[in-house]
Structure 1
Amino acid sequence: MHTKLKLSTLCIAFIAASANAQETSPGPAYDSWLGIYAAKYNSDTEKASPAGVYDGGIEKGVEYGFRMDNKWGGRFEYSSLNLDYRESSGQGDESGQMFGADALYFPANGDTFLFAGLRRQHLQDHFTLGDVGVGRHWRMSDNLRFVTEAGLFHDFSNNTNDFRVKAGFAFTFGSGSSAPVVGDADNDGVNDNLDECPGTPAGAPVDSRGCELDSDNDGVTDQFDQCPNTPPNTRVDETGCPLKVVGDADNDGVKDDRDQCADTPTNDKVDADGCTIFTEKEVTHTLRVLFANNSSVIQDPDSQDIKDFVKFIKRYGKTSVTIEGHASAPGEADYNMMLSEKRANAFKEMLITRYDIDESRLQSKGFGETQLLDTSNTAEAHKKNRRIYIRVTETVKRRATK
């Protein structure tokens, strides 16, 4: 009931609006038309009659239409309707008639129109429908139009929706009561009927099509182009000036200003950050550095083990590193804790200053004598326990090559 009421109200309001519309200039290209048409009519899968459920069919008909002004019109249709059945009690098809009346709206006095109205179908049952749709009168000559149209029909009786595609010919009569008035809405010197770029900003120079000039064809119109006469195929910014050229030092396809992994190997495939693409794989590197008794001095900062570790964390530039400092058992626990922290901080400072590792990737922590590797009270055990320890693990992707 609500659907029926809403669609009925819409159709009545549409027709009333067309009847009260005020005529504006320019007038329509023709006053009325007489048409013939054929249509493919598709019934809703739930539309039923006493003989079964309807399928699609063919519609043939005639129409009479008229223009009330340059935007509004109306029409009446009569057609014969032949529908097949999806399911039936033995009946192959059914023939009937359909009557209709529509209000038509022609935007901008064009050939395309919108329509809404009411229909009455006389088949084995009688059905009342509301319809909406869109169509076009394609001009073939002064008095002949080719008509195409698509419409949706809501059946109030069954609360179902049918669909129709229509084609035909319309023979037109008369002409508009006033001659077309061609304006220049954007005041660019090109009449609206020839203006391919309506709404041009005031004062902007335009070409014969009414479009803003872009003398150097860089995509920025002359009005805003701060660098006229840019060479062809030069990339420019929003001011029309050439973009600053950013290099790609490692030739990985990612510009240096976005490359987070410089010096990527030549054959590596890289992601949007310029870093090597890997299939999922866990990579791990450990480092243990020993210290002299009661010392936080790194005895050999250029050892191969340290260089290999630095190479690893530079290779995997998104890993974070925790440096663990440890002490042996002899001495006070508080002193050993302080000494272990000094050892961890000393190694951290060396990575930053000597090997140019970003400080934000590094953390240091002292554990004192709480994590002894060897608990025996021997000189060898004490030597082993005076250490820093680092273990870096990252789930990355297996290296992919170009």
Structure 2
Amino acid sequence: MAMKNTHKLVLSAVIAALSAGASADNHKFEVHADFGRTFFEEPLEDANTWGLGFGFVLNENWTLDAVASRYSTETQTGGIDADGTQYRLDALYHINTESLWRPYVAFGVGDQEIEWDNDESHRDTLLNLGAGVKRNLGGNWEFRTDVRAFNSLDNEYTDLALNAGISYLFGGSPAPVKAAPAPAPEPEKDSDGDGVLDSKDQCPGTPKTHKVDAVGCSLKLTETVSIDLKITFDTAKAIIKPEFEGEVSKLATFMNQYADTVVTVEGHTDSQGSDAYNQKLSQSRADSVKAALITKYGISADRVKAIGYGEAKPVADNASASGREQNRRVVGQVSTAVTKTETK
């Protein structure tokens, strides 16, 4: 009778397994075949066991497991053959982990019938407690192994069993089909190579050597440039000495470079001589420099002003020879604001 029930369970499990499939992390049912070894406390010899089970998944942690198993053995004394059949209902609590191995603890209750060769039999109600681990093998297949202790409520003995088996998982919703990934967008271009993408570049074609702002336009730097003129003259003379020709030349070069500039050259004298004489001499000195800029270096006349101040603006003490030499001078200054493009 027990063997007939086992055959029915096997047939039902096979039909269920073939009817549907599910992914390992999305299933509702599982069928497993187990093989193991039972170590009897007494009076039976240890025996190999096999069994079939059907599991119903409650949630990601809990599964209810109905199991039928068989074994054949003999008594430790007398050598009487015995066939044992177990039916039990277990609860498995799975411990979630990030690894492929998923441990669990199990407990349950069941019925065991042992049939002897002499046509006698007896039944036990068994409580079991154990721990095991599962590992997904890919697809719908899973490996499982556990160790169980079975305690008889009727005859007060405890047996130990080691089991290993293969499970087939099924009955869940089909695994979602992943949509084809959207084509990667084409990378944006930076056509002029200034470091700003074309979509943001408001100044296309900027030279690569220019520093640019956030919208790709060249950065401008405005600064003031200037040049000073300072030459001295011999006593009572208005002739530019050869050693100061370079100073006049540098002033002319600056003014040619910056065409919007205008210079005022100021002539001065020391305190020797009358005021009227010194005024005339200072003007002659200023006019001498103006004439050099115009005739020798091509500066337009309307860009040069010449003013004589006589002895009215000394820069040193006229009581000494060195002080008077410093006062016999022509000075001038030119400055302008220049905007430059910043480069890398």
Q: Normalising TM by the smaller chain, what interval?
A: 0.3 to 0.5
- TM score, norm. by length of structure 2: 0.39
- TM score, norm. by length of structure 1: 0.34
Higher relative contact order (CA 8 A, sep 6+): 2
User: Whose strand fraction is larger, Structure 1's or Structure 2's?
Assistant: 2
